[in-house]
Structure 1
Amino acid sequence: MAVSPRSPLPPELQASLREAVAAFNAGQLEAAARLCERVLARVPGHLRALGVYGAVLHAQERYAEAETVFGELVQADPDTALHWMNLATARRGAGKFEEALRAYLRASELGCATADFYFNVGLTHLDRRDFESARAVLKKALELAPADALIRSEYIRACYETLQTEEALAALQGWTEFSGLTPEQLAEAGQRMMNLGETERAERALSQLGANELEPRAMLTLAQIMERTNRLEQAQRLVERLSTDARAESLGMDLLVTRAQLAQRAGDHERARELFQQALADVTQFHDRHFVLFPLVKTLDALKRYDEAFAAMTEAHASQVAHLELTAPMAVARGLPTWDITRWGCDPADIAQWDHSGAPSLEDSPVFVVAFPRSGTTLLEQTLDAHPRLKSMDEQPIVQAALDDIVAAGVRYPEEMGKLTAQQVAAVRARYFERAASKVKIEPGQRVVDKNPLNMLRLPVIKRLFPNAPIILAIRHPCDVVLSCFMQHFRAPHFVMLCSDLQTLADGYRRSFDFWYEQSALLSPTVLEVRYETFVADFERGVRQIAEFLRLPWHDGMLAPAEHARAKGYISTPSYSQVVQPVNQKAVGRWRAYERHLAPVIPQLQTYLRRWDYSDR
């Protein structure tokens, strides 16, 4: 008598299927697969056996076969949501992301709304690099399963990739239990925490990694964290261990890039170049090439292969824009930055109405460090942070948050800030300090150092809230700044677009300083201009000038910013590897080697080449 695919199995086949499930749960996947195949040979299309067999194939990463099996289930039983969800997950494993999403949609229509369901949909969006969609779906998963460490970790990743830093940090709060994460997942979670500046929490997560038990991927991630926090010896030891592990072959390009970066940090640029070139050969998609090209640029520059370096920069930016079209298509659709913030300035008649009663003194105000990026602000920040009376909070958008508070109060910014009452200004100022305190612990007697270069475009906010605040404006040769920005691998979409070509970048530079000097003429801020070239040439003199400007007692620690940065560990800016080196003049005049390539944009920079007397340098 034939057995229907929906009928109970004969006892001996029921036993085989139970054995298959037990083998699957024990991780004995080959045995489980053979047992399922034995059952299905006797009863083709049996629904329960197909379900178990599909799960086994998926666990074996035989995704195409799993898709076929779950496809049979869907045809035989199309109204069961679980079958559609499993089919979708198999398609995701096979890289068929759009087809996977269609199957997930059908599962949703049939009632799937569990945390596991939303988690798998979120992973599909992460795989296809639609980080905004991933963030929205993973947020639902986390709301349903707040104790699930893996869901939380992937949600934080989606927040980080979409630059929703506050949302990511909120998800981190109270997360002290990392059980449920494999060593690889734990290492990745630690890396995300480190990238968010949560170094203490990251160290707690990483401390749970037993170094002798790490899988290759976890070990590589740990090595990358060690490099990123300037613990190069530890990073090198981990990479050397990987070189003797046959399993590390699966790491491919990622391991090559890490080895290249360590060779680069050690000054072996020829070896770094060879490794980066090998890694590039493994990149199959143009939109991924920028991950290798940008670090390669630094090595080509060090080797004085300037034309190759510039060609690599140009290709890297094209690749990054292609990547942005996948990950943040609206940013690309908006086109090149319009610098709208520079279109409106303060009204002199309105400024005359500003009520500064209750404003803190210079000594009680934050210290603002502003500039166009890549002008030496990280060196300034670490120099200031080394003073016991100052505390830097790394780059934070809290001046922009204060601007948003002002707009929320119902006034036009910046033309009508005189309409703010003293109470409103005090409230916005208090929220500024609350946000700062949430980022860094301020001890009694310490002042906040707010280093965020493009806060130069928010000078009206700073002056309205902190009229006595000291502001350090970092100045560097415009050609060196533009070149350095063009060499950098920035994450923020608007800055990716700004740096996508030299003309746009030079225009942004000019607009920024035009705005700064126009508003400075109206607002008369308390400013010290620090010229990078002079500062690094006579460092002690420059530091003493800054200490005097800030009315600080002298402290010798300010003369050792490299040691301070090394002890600090994580530095969020692209200068993390340079700032731990002794102060030097290596970056002065770098643009000369690229003068031919920069020639088309030098006319755009002439105003500031003349203003700061750089014309002959």
Structure 2
Amino acid sequence: MGSGPDRDIRQKIQALLASGRAAEALPLLKAQVRETPDDVLAWANLIRVCEQLNQVAQAAEFVQEAHARGLAHPLIQLAEASVLRRQGELVEAQKKVAECLALNDAPPWFRASSHYEAARIFDAAGQWQKAYEAARDANGYAKPLWPSAWFDDALWRWLEALKRYQPKPNATDDNAPVFLVGYPRSGTTLVHQMLDAHERFQVIDEWPIMEKLAAEVASNWGDLLSPLTDTKAAELRARYWQLAPTSSAIVVDKLPLNLLFWPLIRRLFPNAKIVIVRRHPLDAALSAFMQEFRPHPTLVPFLDMADSIRYWLKLNELVTHIEVTDTGYVRVVEYEALVTEPRSTLTSLMAFLGEPFDERQLKFYVHARGQQQINTPSYHQVVRPIYRSSIGRWRNYASCLPGASIETLKQLIGERWDLSLTSSPDSAVGADND
């Protein structure tokens, strides 16, 4: 592992990567592979970070340099598979990931990551059954790595309790951020980039500020409904602005599952506007099920497809409750409308936020390409123009989905959402634009 300064640098790199700060880790990784050119972990991390920062060409160059140095290691092979997938070299990507999958004695975390990558490759290749099975197996390997205490019913109980919360009217004019929330993989990143392309907005990209504040006042979910004095609310509000970036623009706090902190948001910022992005239940649930998330207690349902669907239903019940009880402060943006009618949908959203529509918002992908880092699973999708292939994507996987969950959806929301197996004319091979 090394000692002294070398060990300190390694620890700093790992800390940055663990906290999602890949852009800050990049120069350190570049320096590390020059100082220790045989360090396979450093090379693998360097390749993965470049890919995550949408520097695919440079990632490919580092792959070739690692090969030239004779570095053949599963970590580098797995990173190379990701790069090949991004380059559209799906046959070669499958070969690389197959070598990783064949390592039966590999640790569970590596087997999980290999299967997640295999799922992405098979999905891109239109091999739906293999993609679903790879994602299912990936979640199976990942589950034992998540703390067992997270697998109780506390989250489900909290979702029921949230539907009993009634916000109290408040006429204060405190400076407040806009909160951008929703079920993960439902289009929040697309809305984020559209808003961030407007000069009047600055988006905070998935900083867990509300989660940190919640931890200061509650030891469990239920405590978040306990009375909060005006003094404590003012203290937490000040703490929020200490943690948030200083800006003359309107701050947009984007973190999908901040939706779970709605009571705290409303207590700290009574007049804050909340934008909720909603997507077809099966498209959203499937995308979340197939995603390689960092472990977090609010993401546990995504390890199982049936639970992922159940989670969408419970969160949608909450959204319906919020729409009724928080009138005037909440706008639900339907992902499908945003993708098929972006101008009118975005113009309506901007009117809700009190700012004029800007043509540059429709070219959000130009703005996104100029960003140093995008802290979201869809980092590689929002640098492209809007496309419709993610609408109805679930139909490709219809034979794999749990039948009982589909029947439940039909009974509860069948009149609102199209759950037929007839393919959409816009559906095609392709990943989510969310």
Query: TM above 0.5, one fold?
Result: yes
2:25 counterpart of 1:202: yes
1:427 match? 235
Distance apart, 1:531 and its partner CA: 1.2
Find the aligned partners of 1:316 and 1:431 in 2 and give their Cα distance. Answer: 38
CA deviation map 1:424-461 (0-9, x unaligned): 33222221111113xxxx332x1111111112222222
1:194 touches 1:570 (CA, 8 Å); kept in 2? no
One of 177, 200, 222 as aligned partner of 1:389: 200
Distance apart, 1:496 and its partner CA: 5.5
Residues 591 and 345 from structure 1, CA distance in 2 versus in 1: closer, same or farther, beyond 3 angstroms? closer
Tell me the amino acid that sits aligned with residue 106 of structure 2: Q
SS in 2 for 1:569: coil
1:230 touches 1:569 (CA, 8 Å); kept in 2? no
SS in 2 for 1:236: helix
2:167 touches 2:266 (CA, 8 Å); kept in 1? no
Find the aligned partners of 1:216 and 1:556 in 2 and give their Cα distance. Answer: 47
Find the aligned partners of 2:371 and 2:162 in 1 and give their Cα distance. Answer: 38
Find the aligned partners of 2:322 and 2:259 in 1 and give their Cα distance. Answer: 10
One of 1, 16, 22 as aligned partner of 1:193: 16
Higher CA-based Rg: 1
Find the aligned partners of 2:354 and 2:271 in 1 and give their Cα distance. Answer: 13
2:23 touches 2:373 (CA, 8 Å); kept in 1? no
2:116 match? 294
2:65 counterpart of 1:241: yes
Residues 314 and 346 from structure 1, CA distance in 2 versus in 1: closer, same or farther, beyond 3 angstroms? closer
2:331 counterpart of 1:528: yes
SS in 2 for 1:579: coil
2:167 touches 2:263 (CA, 8 Å); kept in 1? no
1:609 touches 1:615 (CA, 8 Å); kept in 2? no
1:454 match? 257
1:224 touches 1:235 (CA, 8 Å); kept in 2? yes
Find the aligned partners of 1:205 and 1:211 in 2 and give their Cα distance. Answer: 10
- Aligned-pair identity in percent equals 26
Q: How does 1:462-501 map to 2 (within 5 A)?
A: 462-495=265-298, 497-501=300-304
CA RMSD between the two structures: 3.0
1:336 touches 1:498 (CA, 8 Å); kept in 2? no
Find the aligned partners of 2:378 and 2:262 in 1 and give their Cα distance. Answer: 24
Find the aligned partners of 1:455 and 1:540 in 2 and give their Cα distance. Answer: 27
2:179 touches 2:272 (CA, 8 Å); kept in 1? yes
CA deviation map 1:531-553 (0-9, x unaligned): 11121112233222222221123
1:223 touches 1:239 (CA, 8 Å); kept in 2? yes
Distance apart, 1:234 and its partner CA: 0.9
- Structure 1, unaligned runs of 5 or more: 1-92, 94-115, 120-147, 157-188
1:346 touches 1:460 (CA, 8 Å); kept in 2? no
Tell me the amino acid that sits aligned with residue 394 of structure 1: D
2:156 counterpart of 1:339: yes
Residues 345 and 237 from structure 1, CA distance in 2 versus in 1: closer, same or farther, beyond 3 angstroms? closer
SS in 2 for 1:568: coil
2:224 counterpart of 1:224: no
Find the aligned partners of 1:495 and 1:427 in 2 and give their Cα distance. Answer: 26
One of 175, 188, 191 as aligned partner of 1:377: 188
Residues 612 and 321 from structure 1, CA distance in 2 versus in 1: closer, same or farther, beyond 3 angstroms? same
Distance apart, 1:264 and its partner CA: 0.5
2:211 match? 400
2:363 counterpart of 1:551: no
SS in 1 for 2:179: strand
Residues 430 and 238 from structure 1, CA distance in 2 versus in 1: closer, same or farther, beyond 3 angstroms? same
Distance apart, 1:245 and its partner CA: 2.3
Residues 305 and 430 from structure 1, CA distance in 2 versus in 1: closer, same or farther, beyond 3 angstroms? same
Tell me the amino acid that sits aligned with residue 232 of structure 1: V
1:336 touches 1:504 (CA, 8 Å); kept in 2? no
1:175 match? none
Q: How does 1:538-577 map to 2 (within 5 A)?
A: 538-577=341-380
* Greater percentage in helix: 1
1:443 match? 247
Find the aligned partners of 1:365 and 1:607 in 2 and give their Cα distance. Answer: 39
2:428 match? none
